[in-house]
A = this chain, B = another copy of it.
């Protein structure tokens, strides 16, 4: 399958380049050409045959092609819990609303609820997700079947997921199919015993692999860890050798100078989740401090129970906006930096080194942003328009691995939205009954 996008503006997100007018060609799952019109015409002269063999040619009408967004922290199947409980303190929310429902979820439920999230990823231009949840195999199946690029992370905790399962998934899901991969991880310091954490650190050393987890999301979490171990979560986990092969932390809202030194030293990624941190009143992460130290930052939505949507445009605006508020400086963490977090840095954090930018040889994870909409006009600065003004309504097309999965409001994932809405509703009714 060969697709030609022509008459496009292109933002490759490669270091050296700004936006240019040109073409992007795909062959099966890869980009085979992405350059200016002049370059393309020279190529045509050298390769006259290639003009004839596209399966589809798409006139982009000067709209923008760019790498898809990487949602670097989510719990997809929590779609079920969207708007089920909000405007309440975190402890009540978790213990009375979230955990009882999650205890009732089957692998099949999680399959469909993950696919419901995939719809939302696609219409928001998200081409890869970094997902942590229950029943990894049904999540991997859901993503393979709907064509979503998914990196799962282990969720070891005292109650439901063992290091053994995580090791099994690590070996089974990496390389199983072209959509899925798997990274070592655990839920959080506060949901794992020290023994459990030591086992995960052993796995990190055994496989020389990075580890990801929730770290320092709330002030309370940090305080309790200090009481337990006389160290911050970052310090304590690092003391176990957890990050000797890198990795990263979701949230990292409440960190010390020493924490940041550790993050930098270990080559770790910060995955910030400003929507969730705002709605749950967790605090504002010190993004500007991370950037000043050269610690790479990626963006995630967190799950739909705490956000309540899976929208990277909102996360981008919040990332820069909250940094500006925190530092009392309208110039800090600019739009270009934020767009890099939402694309390139996310890909690198997830180990998707071949899905970071638009270039020949990279996988074809591409989106088209509609610039012919009122919120993008007049076109003064496209990058700033995307970060400060963009919304899901600007996403015209989402391609993952060379397959167009969303285009002008229509999905192509092998199951209809209506079927998934029905499934989600049925699961909700069933669990509500079980909980009565």
Determine how close the nearest CB of chain B comes to the CB of A87; give it in whole angstroms.
4
Kindly identify which residue among B89, B116, B331, B378 contacts A88, using a CB–CB cutoff of 8 Å. B331
Kindly identify which residue among B79, B278, B310, B385 contacts A322, using a CB–CB cutoff of 8 Å. B278
What chain B residues lie within 8 Å of A332 (beta carbons)? 87, 281
Interface centre among A82, A90, A322 (most CB of B within 10 A): A82
Known interface pairs A284-B325, A322-B278, A392-B391. Does A331 touch B425 (Cβ–Cβ under 8 Å)? Answer: no
User: What size tier do the contact residues of chain A reach?
Assistant: 35 or more
Kindly identify which residue among B331, B378, B388 contacts A79, using a CB–CB cutoff of 8 Å. B378
Are A391 and B309 in touch, CB under 8 angstroms?
yes
Determine how close the nearest CB of chain B comes to the CB of A126; give it in whole angstroms.
12
**Cβ of A374 under 8 Å from chain B:** yes
Cα separation A251 to B126 with both chains bound (whole Å): 34
Determine how close the nearest CB of chain B comes to the CB of A303; give it in whole angstroms.
12
Are A93 and B330 in touch, CB under 8 angstroms?
yes
Known interface pairs A89-B330, A374-B119, A381-B83. Does A391 touch B393 (Cβ–Cβ under 8 Å)? Answer: yes
Interface centre among A119, A279, A325 (most CB of B within 10 A): A325
Proximity bits, A255-297, B CB within 8 Å = 1, else 0: 0000000000000000000010111110110000000000000
What chain B residues lie within 8 Å of A362 (beta carbons)? none
Are A393 and B123 in touch, CB under 8 angstroms?
yes
Cα separation A184 to B275 with both chains bound (whole Å): 38
**Cβ of A221 under 8 Å from chain B:** no
Determine how close the nearest CB of chain B comes to the CB of A143; give it in whole angstroms.
15
Are A428 and B380 in touch, CB under 8 angstroms?
yes
What chain B residues lie within 8 Å of A424 (beta carbons)? 377-378
A contacts with B: majority SS: helix
Proximity bits, A292-322, B CB within 8 Å = 1, else 0: 0000000000001001111101100110111
What chain B residues lie within 8 Å of A427 (beta carbons)? 378
Determine how close the nearest CB of chain B comes to the CB of A79; give it in whole angstroms.
7
**Cβ of A137 under 8 Å from chain B:** no
Known interface pairs A93-B330, A325-B284, A330-B93. Does A86 touch B335 (Cβ–Cβ under 8 Å)? Answer: yes
**Cβ of A205 under 8 Å from chain B:** no
Cα separation A317 to B320 with both chains bound (whole Å): 16
The 7 closest A-B pairs by CB, nearest first: A278-B321, A119-B374, A83-B384, A309-B389, A120-B374, A87-B334, A308-B388
**Can you add 13 more A-B contacts, CB < 8 Å, to A83-B381, A90-B330, A377-B420?**
A83-B384, A86-B384, A87-B330, A279-B324, A283-B325, A304-B389, A309-B375, A313-B391, A373-B417, A377-B425, A378-B425, A391-B391, A392-B392
